[in-house]
Amino acid sequence: MNDALPILIGVAAAVGAYLLTVGIIASRAADAATLARERLARQEVGLGQSAVALEMEKPPNTSAFG
């Protein structure tokens, strides 16, 4: 059992690092979606114009479908 302890600690650390990374990525995605909704809520233009404005605010390397 003493030989397996370092391996178990390493596996636990790797799983923890993975979960932390996934959590950070999910948090950033949620923040971006929240900010986009807040921008749309503040705009007082019609739906078509606000959708175009939101699309224009995206970085140029992103597509509308993913």
Could you tell me the pLDDT band of residue 11, with boundaries at 50, 70 and 90? very high
Which pair of structure tokens corresponds to residue 10? 């390493």
Q: For residue 38, what is the enclosing H or E element?
A: helix 5-42
- The pTM of the full predicted model, rounded to 2 decimals, is 0.47
Could you tell me the pLDDT band of residue 16, with boundaries at 50, 70 and 90? very high
Cα-based distances in Å from 42 to 29, 33, 46, 50: 20, 14, 12, 10
Rounded to whole angstroms, how far apart are CA atoms 56 and 58?
Answer: 6
